[in-house]
Amino acid sequence: MTEDIFEKVKINLTPEIGFDLVGIDYFADSENQLYLVEHFEIYQDALNAKKERKNPDEYFILYKGAGGEFCCR
């Protein structure tokens, strides 16, 4: 996935409020490699859901920071 497409998809998947758990499908085409798994209101819930996955490194959490910036963990 090119860096530009990856960043655009991340921005599109980032919620205005709360936290989205996002997965990576390495076999999909570049625009569909990232997919929403679940939305959470509390960061700790999203983090726990990520840790419960079989391969937690294939998931990350998207959210907007206090200044409106796009954050990923």
Q: With a cut of 70, say whether residue 20 has pLDDT above it.
A: yes
Cα–Cα dist 42/31, whole Å: 28
Give the burial string for 5-24 (b: 16+ CB within 10 Å, else e). Answer: eeeebbeeebeeeebbbbbe
Domain boundaries, the chain: 3-72
- Give the full edge-to-edge strand order of the sheet including 70-72: 34-40, 19-24, 59-64, 70-72
Query: What's the pLDDT at 26?
Result: 86
Band the pLDDT of 3: cuts 50, 70, 90: low
Query: What's the pLDDT at 21?
Result: 97
Across residues 60-73, what is the average pLDDT? 91
